[in-house]
Structure 1
C-alpha cells in the first residue's frame, strides 16, 4: 500500500509516531517479559547500575515512582538476588540499594539481546537510515524535554 491508499490521518507524523510508539512499547514489554522483568524492575536495575549504591527514596525520584510503590518492586528483585538492600550506616531509617553481580549479569544479557530485538524491529531500515532516524527522534525528544523543563507547570 502506498501513501495515497491510506487515509490522510494515517499519513500524519503524530499518528505514525503514536502507532510506532505503541508497537515499540508492546515489543519492549514482551521482550522484558521473556527476561522475567517488568518495566519498573528494569528501570530500577538500570538506574542502580548507572548511579551506583543509592538511597531508596532517591531511586524512586529518579525513576518517577512513588516512594511507597518502589518497595514492591524492590521486594520482587531482592529475593532473586538482583539487588541488595542494606541499612544506611548513619541513618537506620534509610535503605541503600546496590546492584548485585547477578543483576549486572542480567543487564548485560538484556543489552545483548536488546540489540537483536532492535534490529528485528527496525529491519526495514538501512544502518544509515536508522542513524538518521535516531538523530531526528533525539532532536525532537530533547526539544520536548527542554520545553517541559522551562514551562511554568514543571
Structure 2
C-alpha cells in the first residue's frame, strides 16, 4: 500500500465512492458488450430466477416503475429474448417469459458476470473477496430503510 497518498485517498468514504465509480464503469462496459441496459439485465435475471411472471410483479421484482417497464420489455422483445402473452385465467393481464434465446443469454450472462467480477477483484485472494462481500453486505443491510437502525 502506498503511504505517500494524501489523507483523503485513504479515507473509507473516498475509497468506497471511487471504487463504486470504477465498478460502475466496469459493469456498464460489461452490459454494453451484451447490448443490455441495467434494467434489461435485471429483467432477464429476474425471469431466469422466477420463471414467467405478470408484468406488475416483474416491475416489483426489478424495482422499475410499471409504466417504464414497457419500454424495457419492448427492447428485449424486439431482440426475441422474451415474450409477452395473455395470462391463463385473466385475459387483461400479461405474462412475461424468457424465450429459448433469452434463456441461453441468461445462462451465459451468469458465467460472464462472474468472470467480470473476478477480473475486477483480481487483486484480492478468494478469502479476502468473501470477507469484503460479507462486510459490504452488512453495511448495505444496515442502511436499508426497514433495517433496525437503518435509514
Provide TM-score, normalisation by structure 2. 0.90
Q: Residue 98 of structure 1: SS of its match in structure 2? A: strand
Write the distance in 1 (CA, Å) between the matches of 2:57 and 2:115: 32
Q: Residue 78 of structure 1: SS of its match in structure 2? A: helix
Q: State the partner residue of 1:83.
A: 82
Write the distance in 2 (CA, Å) between the matches of 1:47 and 1:62: 7
Query: Which runs of no fewer than 5 residues in structure 1 stay unpaired?
Result: none
Whether contact under 8 Å (2:141, 2:147) holds in the other structure is no
Equivalenced residue count is: 151
Match among 131, 146, 149 for residue 149 of structure 1? 146
Q: Residue 141 of structure 2: SS of its match in structure 1? A: helix
Query: Which runs of no fewer than 5 residues in structure 2 stay unpaired?
Result: none
Q: State the partner residue of 2:51.
A: 52
| Structure 1 residues 29-57: Cα deviation after superposition (integer angstroms, max 9, x where no partner) | 10011011111100001111112111101
Q: Residue 36 of structure 2: SS of its match in structure 1? A: coil
RMSD: 2.0
Write the distance in 2 (CA, Å) between the matches of 1:72 and 1:140: 33
Q: Residue 92 of structure 1: SS of its match in structure 2? A: coil
Whether contact under 8 Å (2:48, 2:98) holds in the other structure is yes
